[in-house]
Structure 1
Amino acid sequence: MAKWLNKRTQAVTERLNKDTKRTEYETDFQELIDQTEATRAAIQRLFKDVPVFLHPNPAARAKAAMGTTYAKMRKTASERRYPHHTGELATVLTKSAEEFPPDSGFGQAMRHVGEALQKICEAHHEMDDDVMQHLLAPIKETQDGVLKDLAKERKKMESRRLDYDYKKRKIETGKSSFTNDDVKQAEEKFAASREIYENSMLNFLDNDSEQVGQLQAFVNAYLNVARQSVAALEEAQEALAETLSDVQSRPRREPRPQSTYNFDDDDDDDDYDDDDARDIPAGTGPCCIAAYDFEAEAEGELSFAEGQTIRLLSRLDENWLEGELNGRTGIFPSTYVEIVRDL
């Protein structure tokens, strides 16, 4: 208790009186201490800020961390992965694309972009794993090992310095029960602690290749994300260009005019004969051949498939025709057919 009180007294005296004599470290030794402290602080900031860089959302980051901890405890549960924004948007686009027919240009475009964003999201997950394995885990090991030992050695060295300076100061005043042997013994203990701490700092700083390698691993992981992102976006860009070209080459659907044909006339059903349910030969009258598939979207329109022959009944305007196919009568856009024998 007395020794602790002596050290405490010396520390308070130095803090309150700057003129108090104390053992000063040589410039080289002090620079070594400063460099070690700067390295420690930088490592601590990296360990704190890199996870924030990878996972900016604090709430989602906390949930992911809790999920990972729970998975490790249960050993059977799957780890919760951080929900990157690219993955969330990819899900929105792919689910929206499912609501469109397969030949929809907009649906195809959303599917292409969604797939690209999903690949980018997977690249971010790979980066998370790489950074954890090659940067954060080694930093945690350094904090729990070398840096912790250095902190203990520095604390021990400083404690022995305070003991030595206190006894030395008291001897110089001539009002102390300490002997020169006490001072010498305290000095030797301080010197031994200083030597141990100095050697530990030198070994730590000489191995800064570890920190350089860890940052290199971080850059490599980030570069891999960039490369995979560019590749995914370029692939999506090519797919979108093809989709756009296909959509622009399709015939435009013109507004449907009011038909003069009565589609509600029950006599049509009475006069219908199954023997007429066949393609009409081109030579029997005005007809056309379907150049594209056409799917009726409104009542009164006539659906047909590419290559079928349609008997022409009338021309409503320059964009719409009325015809008959397999006993079904309706209107259709003229841009979807090739006229074989005009009306």
Structure 2
Amino acid sequence: MINTMSKIRGQEKGPGYPQAEALLAEAMLKFGRELGDDCNFGPALGEVGEAMRELSEVKDSLDMEVKQNFIDPLQNLHDKDLREIQHHLKKLEGRRLDFDYKKKRQGKIPDEELRQALEKFDESKEIAESSMFNLLEMDIEQVSQLSALVQAQLEYHKQAVQILQQVTVRLEERIRQASSQPRREYQPKPRMSLEFPSGDSTQPNGGLSHMGTPKPAGAPMDQPCCRALYDFEPENEGELGFKEGDIITLTNQIDENWYEGMLHGQSGFFPINYVEILVALPR
């Protein structure tokens, strides 16, 4: 609705600067999408972000209304009417000085010259007084512009209250729904166990087995390697991505936070806290 009215008024581009609510909305919508629908906070963050976006549009509309109906008319008053009055006053001052000078020389200059100086002074005085009188008589226009400022702010606050009330209702409903649902219990994933061979019975993985989980494809256990505890998506060039359960060959420890390794023929860096060591690097 706001955008449609802006197009009709020729104000589609907005005030030319971002509102704080727009920046907040962008962040909330982004992180709400990243959190996803598996939790309550993600969708709620998206709903509030959408409300912030609507608030920014309402504030854009307020700024444009104030500029068009209050600031621009006052600027026009300053640039046109007041400047014209200043011009008449400056001209009046010049003719007053000219009349005073010729009046002091009365008797030394022709009377006609003095009379003309007085007529010019009276003419400028009348024009200046008339301009100031007309400005004061038309001051109801300034009152109307002031009223437009207040009305624009009133409309902004009405729409802002409506938007915030709507999102408040949705959040309260989300809280009620979440409170009525049974609490989920944490289900731990199967742990890896260490089994020691007895007699001739050996296991191909050197005694390491994953209870209830097939051995993931990856590096053999006779060289330095580690197992991925979580998925890791590389964000920078040179990083090595992997999935939970992948066995990664270790080639080097970069520092206390990063390993270098290989997986499926790809080499790269990855964070230490994403993996558990199966066969440590030689010291």
Bin for the TM-score computed over the shorter chain? 0.5 to 0.7
Structure 1 counterpart of 2:121? 190
Which residue of the other structure, out of 30, 33, 38, is the alignment partner of 1:98?
Answer: 33
Q: 1:99 to 1:187 in 2, by over 3 A?
A: same
Structure 1 position 213 matched with structure 2 position 134 = no
Q: Distance in 1 between matches of 2:164 and 2:74?
A: 34
Which residue of the other structure, out of 229, 234, 239, is the alignment partner of 2:170?
Answer: 239
Asked whether the equivalents of residues 153 and 197 of structure 1 are also in contact (C-alpha less than 8 Å), the reply is: yes
Q: Distance in 2 between matches of 1:90 and 1:259?
A: 40
Which residue of the other structure, out of 27, 47, 58, is the alignment partner of 1:123?
Answer: 58
Q: Distance in 2 between matches of 1:258 and 1:219?
A: 62
Asked whether the equivalents of residues 120 and 232 of structure 1 are also in contact (C-alpha less than 8 Å), the reply is: yes
Q: 1:84 to 1:257 in 2, by over 3 A?
A: closer
Sequence identity of aligned pairs in percent? 36
1:259 Cα deviation from its structure 2 partner: 6.8
Point out the more displaced range, 113-122 or 138-147. 138-147
Residue type of the alignment partner of 2:212: F
Unaligned runs of 5+ in 1: 1-76, 267-297, 300-343
TM-score (norm 1): 0.50
Residue type of the alignment partner of 1:201: M
Asked whether the equivalents of residues 190 and 212 of structure 2 are also in contact (C-alpha less than 8 Å), the reply is: no
Residue type of the alignment partner of 1:169: K
Residue type of the alignment partner of 2:91: K
Residue type of the alignment partner of 2:92: M
Root-mean-square deviation (Å): 2.8
Give the alignment of 1:48-127 within 5 angstroms: 81-127=16-62
What do the CA deviations read for 1:99-119 (whole angstroms, capped 9, x no partner)?
Answer: 122252101221121111111
Which residue of the other structure, out of 76, 82, 85, is the alignment partner of 1:141?
Answer: 76
- Would you say how many aligned residue pairs link Structure 1 and Structure 2? 188
Residue type of the alignment partner of 1:205: L
**SS of 1:253 mapped into structure 2:** coil
Q: 1:182 to 1:242 in 2, by over 3 A?
A: same
1:216 Cα deviation from its structure 2 partner: 0.9
Residue type of the alignment partner of 2:82: L
1:250 Cα deviation from its structure 2 partner: 2.5
Q: Distance in 1 between matches of 2:60 and 2:176?
A: 34
TM-score (norm 2): 0.59
1:198 Cα deviation from its structure 2 partner: 0.9
Asked whether the equivalents of residues 119 and 228 of structure 1 are also in contact (C-alpha less than 8 Å), the reply is: no
Residue type of the alignment partner of 1:244: I
1:179 Cα deviation from its structure 2 partner: 3.8
Q: Which is bigger in relative contact order (C-alpha 8 A, separation at least 6)?
A: 1
What do the CA deviations read for 1:7-34 (whole angstroms, capped 9, x no partner)?
Answer: xxxxxxxxxxxxxxxxxxxxxxxxxxxx
Residue type of the alignment partner of 1:209: I
**SS of 2:35 mapped into structure 1:** coil
